[in-house]
């Protein structure tokens, strides 16, 4: 497990929410999503995808946004957008997102959602936008020579993503907490100024441990160090064979001192629903070669049904696209109703 410090208040709140979810799932609407910049990988699967499916199966109304406009925050052009959107849809369906129960949509297809951005922008100051630590970090890592207005304001756009459907629960990793604060601020200020329209959504902190990429750094679509859901068994074996380990032969689970080895052990443990210490102990003197064999087998066994479903859906892209069309239709209905409410509350309807 990673040892990221989480404020205990947030942790307690998350435990409370999990309890309420199990007792009254129908009172929650979850909003989550991804930027369509590349295929989802094992870090996404164990970090968020798996959790979305769990919430959906528990009876929560789940909305999944393909954040196409958000791709443009740190690059000039959204490259191969159609292919990336189809790829995400395939990953979602393969992982168990069920279009009969969940709504998958992309925000450029929902004009009324985007229009909420205008009144929302009026509710936050430039100084507040300037202070957002996640945006600051993204700006620091951006390859663009200047910061676009979209980069600067996207947390407010994300507030529109969440509030258009009155989402009240947002599963997040630690890095997305500042964004959720923006959403809560926007909702609160709107309600104060114009009357009660929006819920103040809660963060559902992910308990997911951090998986590192095969080079020992953060697993990421753009770093070429990730095993994609769609990778086949051979590619998986090749990637894991090349993963960075260390000179110590005996395998232990020690994330602090042996991050590369620990991440591989953790990956096998997650795939097998086992405790990482037990996995490490079993391999022990077998060394890195045995570890990599175990991980490869575990990943391929766990992913086999997901990959088979993905391949089957890939044969029927007409159906896959119809899933997005239906999701967009539902999102548009909801967004139009919310925008009407907003305009009414602002006194803009005569
Ligand atoms: N920012 C998220 C990411 O980069 C994607 C996203 C866009 C999102 N809108 C959202 C997530 C609303 C949750 C809620 O992955």
Task: Based on the fold, state whether residues 122 and 245 are members of the same structural domain.
Answer: no
- Reported pTM: 0.94
Q: Indicate if ligand 1 lies below 6 Å from the C-beta of 31.
A: yes
Q: How many domains does the chain have?
A: 2
CATH number at residue 308: 1.10.240.10
58 and 151: one domain?
yes
Residue 139 domain-assigned? yes
**Quick one: 338 and 287 in the same domain?**
no
Pocket test of ligand 1: the residue of 38, 48, 49, 67 to mutate, having most ligand atoms within 8 Å of its CB, is 67
For residue 111, give the H/E element and its range: helix 111-115
- Are 55 and 101 in a shared domain? yes
**Residue the block writes with tokens 């009172």:** 27
Domain identity same for 160 and 270 = no
Residue 302 lies in a domain: yes
Residue 162 lies in a domain: yes
The rounded Å distance from CA 115 to ligand 1 centre is 18
> What CATH number is associated with residue 99?
3.40.50.620
**Is residue 226 situated within a structural domain?**
no
Same domain, 192 and 257: no
* Ligand 1 atom 15: residue of nearest CA: 34
Q: Is there a single domain that holds both residue 281 and residue 183?
A: no
Write down the residue that tokens 């803009």 correspond to. Answer: 348
Task: Give residue 63's domain range.
Answer: 8-208+330-346
Within this chain, do residues 76 and 115 fall inside the same structural domain, yes or no? yes
Count of residues in the chain: 350
Residue 62 CB partners (closer than 8 Å, separation 6+):
29, 30, 32, 52, 55, 56, 97, 101, 102, 103
Tell me which residue has its CA closest to atom 7 in ligand 1.
67
DSSP secondary structure letter of residue 204: E
Predicted local confidence at residue 316, as pLDDT = 98
Instruction: Name residues of the chain where pLDDT drops below 70.
Output: 1-7
Ligand 1 nearest-atom number relative to CA 179: 1
CB 112 within 8 A of CB 339: yes
How far is 119 from 190, CA to CA, in rounded Å? Answer: 9
Asked if 198 and 254 sit in the same domain, the reply is no
- Single out the residue of 10, 103, 12 nearest to residue 52, CA to CA: 103
Q: 300 and 339 in one domain?
A: no
Supply 158's token pair: 């994300």
80 and 188 together in one domain: yes
Closest residue by CA, ligand 1 atom 1: 34
Is any atom of ligand 1 closer than 6 Å to the C-beta of 71?
no
DSSP string computed for 278-292: HHHHHHGGGHHHHHH
Helix (H) or strand (E) run with residue 302 in it: helix 287-314
pLDDT at 207: 73
Q: Is 260 within a domain?
A: yes
With vertex at residue 149, the alpha carbon angle to CA 148 and CA 152, rounded to the nearest 5 degrees, is: 95
């Amino acid at each position: 497990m990673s040892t990221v410090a989480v404020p205990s208040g947030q942790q307690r709140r998350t435990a409370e929410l999990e309890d309420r979810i199990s007792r009254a799932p129908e009172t929650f609407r979850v909003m989550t999503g991804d930027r369509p910049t590349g295929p989802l990988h094992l870090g996404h699967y164990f970090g968020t995808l798996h959790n979305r499916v769990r919430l959906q199966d528990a009876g929560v109304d789940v909305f999944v946004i393909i954040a196409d406009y958000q791709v443009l925050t740190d690059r000039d052009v959204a490259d191969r957008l159609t292919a990336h959107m189809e790829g995400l849809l395939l990953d979602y369906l393969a992982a168990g997102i069920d279009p009969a129960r969940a709504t998958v949509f992309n925000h450029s297809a929902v004009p009324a959602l985007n229009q909420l951005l205008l009144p929302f922008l009026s509710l936050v100051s430039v100084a507040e936008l300037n202070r957002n630590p996640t945006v600051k970090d993204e700006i620091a890592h951006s390859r663009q020579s200047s910061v676009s207005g979209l980069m600067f304001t996207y947390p407010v756009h994300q507030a529109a993503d969440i509030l258009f459907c009155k989402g009240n629960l947002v599963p997040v990793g630690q890095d997305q907490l500042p964004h959720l604060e923006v959403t809560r601020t926007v909702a609160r200020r709107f309600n104060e100024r114009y009357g009660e329209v929006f819920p103040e959504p809660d963060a559902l902190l992910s308990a997911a441990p951090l998986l590192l990429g095969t080079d020992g750094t953060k697993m990421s679509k753009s770093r070429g160090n990730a095993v994609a859901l769609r990778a086949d068994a051979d590619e998986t074996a090749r990637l894991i064979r090349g993963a960075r380990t260390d000179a110590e032969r005996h395998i232990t689970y020690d994330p602090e001192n042996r991050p590369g080895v620990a991440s591989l052990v953790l990956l096998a443990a997650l795939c097998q629903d086992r405790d990482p210490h037990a996995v490490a102990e079993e391999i022990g003197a077998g060394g890195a070669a045995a570890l990599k064999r175990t991980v490869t087998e575990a990943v391929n066994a766990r992913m086999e049904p997901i990959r088979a479903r993905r391949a089957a859906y890939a044969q029927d892209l007409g159906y896959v696209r119809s899933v997005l069309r239906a999701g967009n239709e539902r999102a548009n209905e909801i967004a139009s109703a919310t925008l009407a409410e907003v305009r009414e509350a602002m006194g803009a309807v005569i």
